[in-house]
Structure 1
């Protein structure tokens, strides 16, 4: 059991020789099949890093939290900032309360991974159900002396040829008994088993699930992924597709129910660096009245260089996480889920990346945004902003609570990069 971005020198104990070989085998696993940030997926390809790396300080977990069960052993990566902080980021990003205030947060019976996975799923359902439940149309046929809906000429003709005098008609009935609803109801049962005794849903989710259960029954048949994807969604209900796919994946992979001594590989990971990026983006949007865009999901990009022969030819596309302002861009931010103030200092590649953003976009303000780790202000931030030929660079440690983060960013925007 370790914490994210924490080197082996700070673990509770050094790994044994046998565990060293086992950790090395984990580095060969791609984390992509295990990452469940499903309802937070963005338009660009996710950043894939190894689950573990090894450097001068030994082993270290990277940007993921969760569990990997591999070769009969279990690696648990806990959030160094705490479960509550990660849940609050999810709440801020999606504007939903992922953990009701009435919930029982257990640190013994209910693991951190279980709580976080349930919070991620709950956020997906609440986001999908903000405007409507997943109601779909089903064609129903009826026979009688009156037409209900549209007359089925072919079926009626066949009935008449067989000597019957009734009419066959079809109509579309709106129902919640469908593949997406079935997947959600089954996933709710799944979490209920692992969160027994904890009031983890909240009143709003309870009401929505009561409606879906009444339509599908308490134990519907598990739908296939094809059933979920082939369901016809309206523009209002299209978010239920992503929620249903996440539910199906949880049911299919059973990340919380695999025995620890199972020799096969199972896991559930949450990309916490992506959550930090989206949290900073959300706070920046609240901290200024200027337009704020997610640089990695828009087509707006800068370039390292352009040809002197043909100015339309450019090389080295750049996509900062957060772009503030439009024609001109007044600030760019890049979120880094790392520690600022360690003996290593700022990573050289991060510094060069930020300078490239500043010069390419001609932004007077540019910053790397780190989560605050202690009460002390690191020297790199204390002496910010740092002047360059094109603007200034800042290194900020942002509070992990929304209100405090928004306040600090507002000060940074308003004071031209000075926050002290």
Structure 2
């Protein structure tokens, strides 16, 4: 197994929530010599400097300023992705006791494919706000790591239509089993005990939390020839990983930037989402004068990286016959006439040229004309900044399932093209 895939598996396994993903990315940026900038502080930036900032613990922006010219002359080569994935989140008052079982009520986050969540070994992770022993408000990340919850299926003997017409009620069918009896205590007590186990010794009172359930099965390389990677949260931690690797690998003379936003799966409308002001505020601090900023953005481009639907051999009729991306056949340019994707002929042409230069094949995806089309942070960011934009991604199966599948060759391929983009002089 290549070192790249080893790193990818470790990143996916260490990132059960957006908070953990940003923490893992920040650690790699620290090692690479990037300087953390707190949004609440004044920023002193230098030519060729490497920096990053974090908002809400779940969104991150990293950038390098050009070495030999102003960023106004250079512009930014920007890559965007998102840190969140569809999942089940624990409710604020989740305790349910039925027939001697202790359960947790959950809320559906994003467009979850619900059936695969049944009969999995589930754990919990997220962020906790608490008071310490001196009654100071603090936050900490928590990750139970081991399986602590399960959502058993109903036996087919009791549901004879399970294979033909089963539907899932998110309110009544999804509470997970946490324990038998009432010995586990209330949920905040469980969190407090887990934080202490993880070395957070000053917890006096849990104030609130944002906790997600996740599958404990580790990422795997599968296929007779090791062609695929199977994991949770490939949409869209895979793009975060590829964008970060390209950023760290590219030794560019131009301005380069990586933005990974939270909340894409629920519309991006938040302070840390792509429809919020985080990226525009960072750019305003880098180029305060309006005219200079407009000139800089005119010399800039954004590549929005979010996985694409590979053509499933058992369901090929769900694709346009001429636009069915194959796994391990190269990154996919995503096109939609109604601007659900922000690609246009100029931005896709640049990407195709860069891909040819590094020997990477390119595919195209257009949704069937009689089906609805999803969207990405691409059109949102393009509208917020007024920057030309391209939507791309690597093809995958089982998008929004608890376990997804992508091609290992596509990971290396897209990193190569993104590196070339970061180095490109004219965009």
TM-score, length basis structure 2: 0.27
The structure that has the greater radius of gyration is 1
**Bigger RCO (CA 8 Å, 6+ sep):** 2
TM-score, length basis structure 1: 0.27
More strand by share: 2
